[in-house]
Amino acid sequence: MSIWEYANPVRFMRSTAKLLPWVVAAAAICVTAGLVWGVLTPPDYRQGSTVKIMFLHVPAALMAINGWLMMLVASLIWLIRRHHVSALAAKAAAPIGAVMTVIALVTGAIWGQPMWGTWWEWDPRLTSFLILFLFYLGYIALWSAIEDPDSAADLTGVLCLVGSVFALLSRYAVNFWNQGLHQGASLSVAPGERMSEVYRYPLYLCMLGFFLLFLALLLIRTRTEIRLRRTAALRAREARR
């Protein structure tokens, strides 16, 4: 059976109904365990107890970006292969990604207050997250403005493609505009700078947890969208009478 079979809404509903409880349970366990483990870590010698914010900040930031990537992939699948479920999945992912972006921004801002002495700094990393948030807003607004679902799926798909190109360009532009204060990706940087193991493992667990949480919410919201579409289709038939 080809993987595209799952793009059939009926089959999608049936298989996700079985899968969903497991994903929800795994997400709940990983997020709770990861955050509790994170809170129990000792304070950092430089940042004090504020390192504990990292266990929210980094996974949220990660999922904010991955959420957009997922939307991009789903949009491409819809535009090329016309699988309706993937269009709805893209729609469902947007609010989750937007909330993740807000969490990253807010925790970053709260973290910045003691570390840099300011709530907000026009640092390129932070700025590009703000821009990402704007792209999420535009995408969600376009979905909600168009009544015809076919056109809405197509138009938001095109917006997602063009938006991705320009979001990437903005990232470079912002880097050019201001060199920042924010630390680099410390999970991969030079060995001397490597994050202490004390923080690394709970962080991994939190990342996994946020990923599972994203997945669970994505499944739930996609199922909602499918149900709404089906209700609308039945209503349209009824109105025909």
Taking CB under 8 A as the criterion, which residues in 117-136 touch another protein? 118-123, 127, 130-131, 134-135
Residue choice 153, 205, 206, 215 for contact with another protein (CB under 8 A):
153
Rounded distance between C-alpha atoms, residue 230 and residue 130, angstroms: 35
Interface with ligand HEM (CB under 6 A), residue total: 19
Packed helices 149-177 and 54-81: angle between N→C axes, nearest 10 degrees: 130
Provide the CA 23 distance to its chain's centre, in angstroms: 16
Tell me the window of 48-56, 61-69, 189-197, 200-208 that interacts with another protein (CB under 8 A): 48-56
Amino acid at 147: E
Q: Is 171 in the site for ligand HEM (CB under 6 A)?
A: no
Extract the tokens encoding 26: 């795994």
User: 44 — phi, psi (to 5°)?
Assistant: -75, 150
Structure tokens of 149?
Answer: 């679902």
**Rg, Å, the chain Cα set:** 20
Pick the piece of the chain touching ligand HEM (CB under 6 A) from 3-11, 16-24, 51-59, 147-155. Answer: 51-59
- The distance in angstroms from the start CA to the end CA of the chain is 39
CA nearest to 63, candidates 179, 181, 207: 207
- 165 touches another protein (CB under 8 A): yes
Near another protein by CB under 8 A: residue from 5, 11, 80, 178: 178
182 binds ligand HEM (CB under 6 A): yes
136 is an interface residue for ligand HEM by CB under 6 A = no
Integer Cα distance of 109 and 107 in angstroms: 5
Which of the listed partners (ligand HEM, another protein, none) does 182 bind, with a CB threshold of 5 to 8 Å by partner kind? ligand HEM
Handedness of CA 77, 80, 83, 84 (dihedral sign): positive
Task: Tell the smallest beta-carbon distance from residue 25 to another protein (Å).
Answer: 14
Verify binding: residue 181, another protein, rule CB under 8 A.
Answer: no
Minimum distance from CB of 14 to ligand HEM (Å)? 37
- The binding site for ligand HEM (CB under 6 A) comprises 54, 57-58, 61, 104-105, 108-109, 111-112, 115, 125-126, 129, 182-183, 185-187
